[in-house]
Structure 1
Amino acid sequence: MEQKKTVVVTGFEPFGEHAVNASWVAVQELKKLGLGPAVNLHVTEVPVEYEAVQNLLPSLWDQYKPQLVVHVGVSGMATTVTLEKCGQNQGYSRPDNCHSCPKSGCCVEGGPDCIDSAIDMDLVCKSVNNSDLGVSISVSEDAGRYLCDYTYYVSLYLGKGRSAFVHVPPLGKPYSAEQLAQALRAVILKMLDLLEHSTEVQHCQHSH
């Protein structure tokens, strides 16, 4: 019998103008949908705090030993479900919910400037856009140098590239929580499929 895969999906707590964080609402909806009988899905809410991320992420990787960790964040500028290709190590000066930011301005001192996901986001995007989901998917190479980008980099570093970051638009702009959850489900199942066929981690090839 094939062993079940383990996937951890995170959303963020409210911050700034996002009194309700669409990412966590969508992740809770995804939990109701599930990822099918072959996948153990664990979801968790991430504080919008750099230090909390540094403490939480290693424990998620250690505790669940997941095949894949997918972080979901909200972007007020997004109008599509956006797949982030890479995480950046430096440039973190925007204060978090506790009004603090990393002293060094980076995620992992001495880490590479940029880490690419082991997953080909262009392929995931194309595949899901070709299905009749009714939710538009796009890709991005800049996760924004705030908690989203920070979380993504730390997770890519810990998980040797077996991590993904998905930005979702605020609720109702234009998608409902249910639609976002359906999109996340489709995207994550495709990512798992691709991960089975690739194990190499690449450092960033493109110029920023």
Structure 2
Amino acid sequence: MQHTQPSSPYRTILVTGFEPFGGETINPSWEAARQLDGWVYQGAKVVARQMPCVFGAAYDALAAALREVAPQIVICVGQASNRSDFSVERIAINIDDARIPDNAGRQPVDVPVVADGPAAYFSSLPIKAIVQAVRAAGIPASMSQTAGTYVCNHLFYAACHLRATRYDGLRKAGFIHVPLSPEQAAHHAGHASMSIDTVARALRVTVETCLKRDADVTLAAGQVS
């Protein structure tokens, strides 16, 4: 007798990437995310949306995408030039503290993402399972303890806050940082890179893991300092 695998309870996964910023002409987070747009896995469809690299506008764009798509999982992705691997973020903090202006020239300093919001949110993605699965696929990956204080953290906090306060159907939300693409790194001596196709492959593994697992794995992945 053949046994069919039960279908996933998830029907839509939203994957977001950012527009270019900081003088770059591309953003690998979006170039990789867009490769997944329309992909169907175990009955669940991926929808990709580009986010503006602008404080406030990114929050609003994500809220609009959630209303439009009504996903059960949202995976936000952003570029970080100081990352050397596929970095799965653990925690979003309620602060905007911009070292450089965003794409609209805004540069908030010590401003909360959400006034009177919680100090922080933990990712609800199975973050350690994702790291484990991406590594098993032959792609460098790690868990990160900070998403920074720029628009990436702003969007990560927005995803978590919207999940907690407005969208009961949104079961999982989190954020992943990816390195520069090789084309970008060629102009930044000493910076690591990862091809956009490799990032897209890691994102597919991430989606698969999120669909297969509700509980995370026990894996020592913290940092001493």
Report if TM-score (shorter chain) is over 0.5.
yes
For 1:98 and 1:81, how far apart are their aligned partners in 2? 28
Q: Name which of structure 1's ranges 13-22 and 137-146 shifts more when overlaid on structure 2.
A: 13-22
Q: Give 2:95's aligned residue.
A: 90
The answer on 1:165 being equivalent to 2:175 is yes
For 2:10 and 2:128, how far apart are their aligned partners in 1? 26
List per-residue Cα deviations over 1:141-165 (Å, max 9, x = no partner): 1101001000000111101372111
Q: Give 1:56's aligned residue.
A: 61
* 2:10 and 2:44 in contact (8 A); partners too: yes
**How many positions carry a matched residue from both structures?**
196
Equivalent of 1:145 in 134, 149, 167: 149
SS of the residue 1:150 aligns to: helix
Q: In the superposition, relative to structure 1, how do residues 134 and 17 fare at CA in structure 2: closer, same or farther (>3 Å)?
A: farther
Equivalent of 1:184 in 194, 203, 223: 203
**RMSD after superposition:** 2.4
Q: In the superposition, relative to structure 1, how do residues 145 and 72 fare at CA in structure 2: closer, same or farther (>3 Å)?
A: same
* 2:75 and 2:176 in contact (8 A); partners too: yes
For 2:133 and 2:196, how far apart are their aligned partners in 1? 21
For 2:68 and 2:160, how far apart are their aligned partners in 1? 16
The answer on 1:31 being equivalent to 2:37 is yes
SS of the residue 1:59 aligns to: helix
Letter in 2 for 1:54: Y
How many Å apart are 1:92 and its aligned residue?
2.5
* 2:89 and 2:176 in contact (8 A); partners too: yes
Identity score, percent: 27
Letter in 1 for 2:177: H
Equivalent of 1:193 in 193, 196, 212: 212
For 1:18 and 1:188, how far apart are their aligned partners in 2? 27
TM-score (norm. length: structure 2): 0.78
Q: In the superposition, relative to structure 1, how do residues 41 and 110 fare at CA in structure 2: closer, same or farther (>3 Å)?
A: same
Give ranges in structure 2 of 5+ residues lacking alignment: 1-5, 165-170, 183-191, 217-224
For 2:40 and 2:146, how far apart are their aligned partners in 1? 27
For 1:78 and 1:145, how far apart are their aligned partners in 2? 15
